[in-house]
């Protein structure tokens, strides 16, 4: 009798929840000469739909515009120092209305626009930052303990890396991100407020800074 032994090897890889996004701003009137200028900040993010209730979206949620994706979990903060340079900007909740979802690629997409009155002439940057990007190929294969942010709560967890066959490259699920924009409300020589170009396409590969 021949005995056939089957060996199964399972590798557990942590797949996190953030797929990318964009942050843009624009003045409601680029000829406003008031001491405070109305600025519309628009946040668009994409999440792993199956991660949990905070990132789940379906047609009912889109229709009801409730609940918001990841509402109350983190904020779009001014990253310029000192804080007095932030032109009276107040941190904005990243919670957004779900606009689309896909069961095929396991994603939920959302967007929200928030109006704030910002001091004319201000120059500062804002960003949403975290460390739960989806798994990425990385050349930094160090395994250790690091500070990790999951929806606003800090915890020290072991960095997850899985070695591959491509030399020193590894698969990292603890990469950090910083997605944002810089606001410049300087008046041009023609009296019009500097106005940035706006990208309207949301890509899960859009990011301003990525570190493993």
Model pLDDT for residues 60-113, shown as the tens digit of each residue: 999 999 999 999 989 999 999 999 999 999 999 999 999 999 999 999 999 999
Model pLDDT for residues 178-202, shown as the tens digit of each residue: 899 999 998 888 888 877 765 555 4
Distance, in Å, from the CA atom of 120 to the CA atom of 113, rounded to the nearest integer, reads 20
Model pLDDT for residues 15-61, shown as the tens digit of each residue: 578 888 999 999 999 898 899 999 999 999 999 999 999 999 999 99
Contact 168, 139 (CB under 8 A): yes
Comparison of pLDDT for 29 and 4, the residue scoring more: 29
Helix/strand/coil for 26:
strand
pLDDT confidence of residue 13: 34
Note the Cα 73 to chain centre separation in Å.
Answer: 12
Structural tokens at position 200: 């309207």
């Amino acid at each position: 009798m021949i005995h056939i032994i089957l060996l199964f090897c399972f590798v557990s890889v942590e797949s996190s929840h953030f797929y990318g996004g964009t942050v843009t701003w624009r003045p409601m009137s680029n000829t406003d000469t008031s001491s405070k200028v109305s600025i519309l900040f628009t946040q668009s993010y994409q999440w792993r739909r199956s991660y949990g209730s905070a990132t789940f979206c379906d047609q009912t949620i889109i229709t009801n515009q409730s609940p918001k994706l990841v509402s109350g979990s983190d904020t779009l903060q001014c990253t310029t120092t000192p804080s007095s340079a932030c032109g009276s900007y107040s941190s904005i909740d990243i919670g957004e209305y779900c606009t689309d979802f896909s069961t095929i690629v396991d994603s939920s997409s959302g967007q929200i626009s928030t109006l704030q009155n910002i001091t004319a002439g201000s120059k500062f940057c804002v960003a949403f930052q975290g460390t739960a990007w989806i798994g990425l190929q990385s050349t930094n294969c160090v395994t250790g303990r690091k500070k990790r942010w999951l929806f606003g709560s800090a915890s020290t967890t072991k960095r997850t890396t899985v070695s591959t066959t491509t030399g020193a490259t590894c698969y990292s699920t603890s990469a950090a991100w910083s997605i944002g924009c810089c606001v410049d409300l300087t008046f041009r020589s023609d009296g019009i407020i500097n106005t940035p170009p706006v990208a309207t396409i949301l890509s899960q590969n859009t990011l301003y800074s990525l570190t493993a």
